[in-house]
Structure 1
Amino acid sequence: MRIHFIAIGGAAMHNLALALHHKGYKVSGSDDVIFEPSKSRLEAVGLLPNEFGWFPEKITREIDAVILGMHAKKDNPELAKAHELGLKIYSYPEFLYEQSKYKTRVVIGGSHGKTTITSMILHVLKYHNIEVDYMVGAQLEGFDTMVHLTEENDFIVLEGDEYLSSPIDMRPKFHLYKPNIALLSGIAWDHINVFPTYDNYVEQFKIFVDSIVNGGIIVYNEEDEGVKKVVLSSENPIRKHPYNTPEYRVENGTTLLYTPEGDMPIEVFGKHNLNNLEGAKWICQHMGVDEADFYEGIATFKGASKRLEKIKENNDSVIYKDFAHSPSKVLATTQAVKEQFPHRKLVACLELHTYSSLNAEFLKEYEGTLINADVAIVFYSPEALKIKKLTQIDKEQISASFNKEGLIIYTDPKEFKDFLFDLNLKNVSLLLMSSGNYGGLDFNEVRNLIN
């Protein structure tokens, strides 16, 4: 098949392009800008466009399908040419479904934890040499790409994102996969630019549960009241399997998981990650991995990229970075680090970077999320507000929304960096939470904060 990607450079899109190239498809693509690591990875296999921009002449009748990325606009000239020629146009999730409609589809959904749970499942399966197709939203240790597609594998494991499918398909991605086995980890309002109310957001998860095929399975976190309500109210004829956070304890900075074989030290930590682990365990069991084998495999799991990723550690200090930006993630992540190192001072830095986090109306959702931090810092860029065409917010609004005594707020990248590099990190846990980089912070330099 000949496949053309409109906006080939995106994190998800370039991984799908690589997967199809490895599968033997003839792949081409365009984009107006491509950043690293996508650029080098596409170039290595000859898929990097010769020049950036949109070229309608690339779209011919010889193309079997076009895959349209979210980065493209509705008026994209290549998209217009594809419409004109009557070519089949897929969104990213639509094409994944086409590739997997004769497989058993395992879809991991939820406002938080889905990347980690998917990563845990794939880690355990790889540990036991169980081959599956997959799509996950982070680069995993031991995996070459974030997407892997074959003809022969029976299972495909998909991270089920609730964000929109493409510029011309406003359905959430996870509505299109039609899972045989699904997991729902949590519901916490996010993506306010697309789902303006909490009820509207929750409705997307109801549709997800109802999209599970008849006789399928939903594994769900019954500690989350929103999840529990959505799953139990569904009339879809599926099996419903609840899970809870397993028992564990923290001893000298190590988390020990209680198992039938005794206490087992694990690399990940925090109540939210133990909850994720339990969900992953039940999914693996539904895929044929028994409990003992799951524990053996998960013991070596160190976490997904940018999810409580350790930057540097010595005997009395540690630095983590985390993708946490939504309120529920900020609360869970800070709580996890404080629980793991209760006798150290926790310095928690949060960058407000996403559309939702910079929205004046949404800010109140952050109340209490930094309660576990001994020193709490919020960074945001007024320039980002202009770029996203949002109403300007000020430090007083942020301070009132977080309701955290002693909250420090920075808007200048240099001032924030100076603050970091003046810190005495003896007996300190430093946590950097952001989906950005604090206005240009070099995380390799941050490593030098401790010896």
Structure 2
Amino acid sequence: MNIHFIAIGGSAMHNLALALHKKGYTITGSDDAIFEPSKSRLEAKGLLPKEFGWFTNNINSNLDAIILGMHAKPDNPELLKAQELGLKIYSYPEFLYEQSKDKTRVVIGGSHGKTTITSMILHVMNYHEIAVDYMVGAQLEGFDTMVHLTSENEFIVLEGDEYLSSPIDRRPKFHLYKPNIALLSGIAWDHINVFPTYENYVKQFSIFVNSLTNGGIMVYNEEDAEVKKVVEQATSSIKKYPYSTPNFKIVDGITFINTSFGEMPLEFFGKHNLQNMVGAKWICLHMGVGEDEFYEAISSFKGASKRLEKIAENNNSVVFKDFAHSPSKVKATTTAVKNQYSNRKLLACLELHTYSSLNTEFLKEYKGALNSADTAVVFYSPKALEIKRLEKISEEQIKNAFEQDDLIVYTNATEFKEFLFTQNFENSVLLLMSSGNYGGLDFTKFKDLM
């Protein structure tokens, strides 16, 4: 097949391009800007566009399909040319479904935890040398790409994102996969630029649950009240398997769980991650992996990239960075770190970076999110508000939203960095939460402080 990618440089898009290239397809692509690591990875396979921009001569009737990325706009000249020629145009999730129609599709959904759960499942499969196709939202240790597609593998494991499919397809991605087996980890309002009300957001998960194939398997976190309600009210004919937090204990900063092997130490921690592990176990059981085999493999799982990733440590200090940015993720991560290191001072920093987190109406959702921290800091860039064309936010508004009088707020990246690097980290934990980079923070420098 000859396939052209409009907006090939995105994290998900370039990984799909690499996977299809490896499968033997002829791939071309375009974008107006491509950054690392996408740029080097595409260049290594000869897939990097010769020049950046949109060029209508890239589009011709010899193409079997167009894959359209979210970065493109509805008036993109290449898209308009493809529509004019009547070419088949797929969104990213639509094409993944086309590639997996004859497979058993396993889809992991939820407002939080889906990348970690998908990563856990793939770690277990890789450990036991069980070949599966997959798409995951983080780069994993031992995996070349975030997307892998074959003709022969029975299963495909897909991270089910609720965000929109493409500029011309406003359906959430996870509505398009039609799972045989699915998991729902949690529901907490997000993406308010697309789902302006909580009720509208929750409705997308109801549609997802009812999109399972007839007789499909639904694994769900029964400790999340909204998830429990959505799954139990499902009208489709599916089998339901609830899960909850396992018994655990923390000894000297290490989390132990009970298994048939006896007490087993884990490389990861936090109540939310223990829930993720049990959800992953249920999925693996349905994919043919026994419980003992699951625990043997999961004992060596260190976590997905950017998910509570340990970036520096010495005998009495440790630094984590985490992709957490939504209120529920921030609260769960902050609480987990404080519980794990209860005898240390926790300095928790959050960058408000996304459209939702910088929205004055949504800010109140962060109430109490940083309460577990001994010192809490919020950083945001007024420039980000300008770029997203949002109302200005004051320091007072931030403090009122978090309902934390001693909250420290920074809007200047240089001042924030000076604050960080002048702290005494003796007997401390530093937690850096963001989907951005705090205005250019060099995370490698923390190794020099330890």
TM-score tier by shorter-chain length is: over 0.9
* Aligned partner of residue 115 in structure 1, secondary structure: helix
Structure 1 equivalent of residue 190 of structure 2? 190
SS in structure 2 opposite 1:48? Answer: coil
Measured in 1, the distance between the counterparts of 2:60 and 2:326 equals 42
Amino acid at match of 1:234: A
2:414 matched residue in structure 1: 414
Report the Cα offset of residue 405 of structure 1.
Answer: 3.2
Residues 191-241 of structure 1 deviation map (CA, whole Å, 9 limit, x = unaligned): 000000000000000000000000000000000000000000011100000
Letter in 1 for 2:182: A
Q: In the TM superposition, what is the alpha-carbon distance from 1:387 to its structure 2 partner?
A: 0.3
Matched with 1:236 is 236
| Runs of 4+ off more than 2 Å | none
Q: Secondary structure at the match of 1:364?
A: helix
Q: 1-side partners of 2:449 and 2:185: how far apart?
A: 35
Equivalent residues in 2 for 1:296-335 (5 A)?
296-335=296-335
State the distance in 2 between where 1:165 and 1:447 align: 39
SS in 1 for 2:78: helix
Q: Is 1:66 the equivalent of 2:59?
A: no
The C-alpha deviation readout for 1:273-293, integer Å capped at 9, x for no partner, is 000000000000000001000
Residues of 2 paired with 1:368 and 1:116: CA distance?
Answer: 24
Q: Give 1:446 shift.
A: 2.5
Gaps of 5+ in 1: none
Corresponding residue for 1:81? 81
Q: Partners of 2:257 and 2:31 in 1: how far apart? A: 46
* Correspondence 1:248-397 to 2 at 5 A: 248-397=248-397
Q: Distance in 2 between matches of 1:60 and 1:188?
A: 43
Give how far 1:444 is off. 1.1
- Give the deviation of 1:44 after TM superposition: 0.1
* Equivalence for 2:131: 131
Instruction: Return the offset for 1:258.
Output: 1.2
State the one-letter code of the partner of 1:89: I
Where 2:448 maps in the other structure, the secondary structure is helix
Q: Cα offset for 1:61?
A: 0.6
1:224 counterpart = 2:232: no
Instruction: Work out the CA distance in 2 between the residues paired with 1:250 and 1:111.
Output: 27
Say how many residue pairs are matched: 450
Question: Deviations along 1:294-319, whole A, 9 cap, x unmatched?
Answer: 00000000000000000011110000
Alignment partners' CA distance in 2, 1:313 and 1:442 = 16
Query: Taking structure 2 as the reference length, what is the TM-score of the superposition?
Result: 1.00
CA RMSD of the aligned region, Å? 0.5
> Which ranges in structure 2 are unaligned for 5 or more consecutive residues?
none
In structure 2, the partner of 1:17 is 17
Q: Aligned equivalents of 1:167 and 1:447: distance in 2?
A: 41
Q: Distance in 2 between matches of 1:174 and 1:53?
A: 30
Query: Letter of the aligned partner of 2:117 in structure 1?
Result: I
Question: Corresponding residue for 1:37?
Answer: 37
| 1:43 Cα deviation from its structure 2 partner | 0.1
Percent identity over the alignment? Answer: 73
